[in-house]
Amino acid sequence: MKGSRTIKVDYLARVEGEGALYVKVKDGKISDLKFRIFEPPRFFEAFLRGRDFREAPDITARICGICPIAYQMSSINAMEAICEVSVDKQIRDLRRLIYCGEWIESHALHVYMLHAPDFLGYEDAIQMAKDLPNEVKQALRLKKVGNDLMAIIGGREIHPVNMRVGGFYKAPEKADFAEIKEELEWAKEASLATIKLVASFTFPDFDREYEYVSLQHPDEYPLHDGRLVSSRGLDIAVNEYEQYFVEEHVKHSHALHSYIKERGAYFVGPLARYNLNFDKLTPACQKAAKAAGIAPEVHNPFKSIIVRAVETLYAVEEALRIIKKYEKPDRPYVDVTPRAGVGCGCSEAPRGICWHRYRIDERGIIQDAKIVPPTSQNQKTIEEDLRQFVPRHLRLSDEKLTWQCEQAVRNYDPCISCATHFLKLQIERE
């Protein structure tokens, strides 16, 4: 194909945060590609220095209004590692439960309101609601189930107030879950319907070979803790992360890139979790995945929407499992005495692993902090996807190709506000 074409999206919609996309194609080849992030820096890692270690969960929650639990949980894991504290099963279950709420809320938001409109050709879910009112109402109700679960345990859905180092400020009563239990039963059916719906979408052919990275736990689907594993054999403790993963401030890219040493880009999020932990999904999830026509491994990022729907069902089932056997703990938290040291924490944000490291002194004052959000880890993979996707689809009109590029970015449910330190990404390769 001769001639030069430019695809430009000045303000990428239906993502959390501010990003832009710029692709220049010359004679059928990409001459320039920019997935630009213009989210201004907010310096969390800097102003965490000097704060009390118990403040980290509430402060880091403000990195992202979409996945505050991920930040709270990862920082709590890190602080408890430093102070050598472990919590009992009841507190652990309650943490999983509130995290399920975040997954349900965030996945329902992304599947229906941010991503499905791409597949169905609508500008947004509100337009979609005119033709598919029942589906959109189902989406809103499903999202509300997640939000309500977070609010019951956490006090509110955005920046919940109940999580603390050592456990919770207050444990909910068994009776607090009476109503949500019924809604969760409904949500099970709604999630199954969601899987069916999204499986009926048309997907571009786009299988690629990726290195997937997720948490892994011996007997549960990864959510709030575990070891770090990859599809190419990595199996490490969370505190070994920096020996294998690097963040680099590249001169010409103006960005912090995450990559695996000597290997390069990697993939975090629903697809990674699913591919690495399929055997830990419930039988109902496995069955629903099979019925939806996806194998125990999926390598087409466009199909992440199906996996997200399967994970929604998992979160609903897991929430029900925990609620059914919930007994209020005698004490909602264990006492934590600060000690000088370094510790790491990691958990599975809806969009992938969220890794934290802190150093605190003997008074519990934070001396140093490092936070690696999921979206900055996927960023390199997103660019590589676009570099491969665009040349294969040059026959499309500019309008259509632009939309599909946006869709390809949204496969990753990117949360740009999260990615505190990858503003201004520019790729210039001639």
Partner 1 sequence: MATKIKPKLAVWKFASCDGCQLSLLDCEDELLDVVGEIDIANFPEASRAVVKGPYDLSLVEGSITTAHDAERIHKVRRASKVLVTIGACATAGGIQALRNFADVKAFTSIVYASPQYIETLTTSTPISNHVAVDFELRGCPINKLQLVEVISAFLTGRKPVTPPHAVCVECKLRGTPCVMVAHGTPCLGPVTHAGCNAICPSYNRGCYGCFGPKETPNTESLASQWQKLGSDDPGIVRAFRGFNAYAEPFRKESEIHER
Residues found near partner 1 in the complex (CB under 8 A): 11-18, 38-47, 49, 51-52, 55, 58-59, 62-66, 68, 109, 113-114, 123-127, 129, 136-137, 140-141, 143-144, 147, 155-159, 161-162, 164, 169-170, 248-249, 251, 254, 256, 403, 406, 415, 417, 420-421, 423-424
Cβ distance to partner 1 smaller for residue 64 or 228:
64
Cβ distance to partner 1 smaller for residue 158 or 342:
158
| Minimum distance of partner 1 from residue 352's CB (angstroms) | 17
Exposed e or buried b per residue across 27-40, where buried means at least 16 C-beta atoms within 10 angstroms of its C-beta: eeebeebbbbbebe
Cβ distance to partner 1 smaller for residue 33 or 109:
109
Cβ distance to partner 1 smaller for residue 17 or 204:
17
- DSSP code per residue over 359-407: EE-TT-BEEEEEEE-HHHHHHHHHHHHHHHHHHHTTTS-HHHHHHHHHH
Cβ distance to partner 1 smaller for residue 303 or 410:
410
Residue 140: count other Cβ atoms within 10 Å of its Cβ: 15
End-to-end CA distance of the chain: 18
Which is nearest to 368 in space by CA: 38, 22, 34, 51? 51
What 3-state DSSP class applies to 207? coil
| Minimum distance of partner 1 from residue 208's CB (angstroms) | 25
Cβ distance to partner 1 smaller for residue 171 or 288:
171
Cβ distance to partner 1 smaller for residue 51 or 299:
51
Residue 379 is encoded by which pair of tokens?
Answer: 């960023």
- Angle, CA of 119, 120 and 123, to the nearest 5°: 95
CB-based burial of residue 10 (10 Å sphere; 0-12 exposed, 13-18 middle, 19+ buried)?
Answer: exposed
| Minimum distance of partner 1 from residue 296's CB (angstroms) | 33
| Minimum distance of partner 1 from residue 403's CB (angstroms) | 8
| Minimum distance of partner 1 from residue 334's CB (angstroms) | 15
| Minimum distance of partner 1 from residue 166's CB (angstroms) | 13
Residue 187 is encoded by which pair of tokens?
Answer: 């949500």
- Euclidean distance between CA atoms 304 and 328, whole angstroms: 36
Q: Which residue has the tokens 């997954």?
A: 103
Cβ distance to partner 1 smaller for residue 87 or 125:
125
| Minimum distance of partner 1 from residue 74's CB (angstroms) | 15
Cβ distance to partner 1 smaller for residue 73 or 292:
73
Residue 401 is encoded by which pair of tokens?
Answer: 């190709």
| Minimum distance of partner 1 from residue 155's CB (angstroms) | 4
Q: Hey, CA dihedral for 161, 13, 247, 275, is it positive or negative?
A: positive
Exposed e or buried b per residue across 84-102, where buried means at least 16 C-beta atoms within 10 angstroms of its C-beta: ebebeebbebbbbbbbbbb
- Euclidean distance between CA atoms 269 and 412, whole angstroms: 7
| Minimum distance of partner 1 from residue 64's CB (angstroms) | 5
- Euclidean distance between CA atoms 228 and 225, whole angstroms: 9
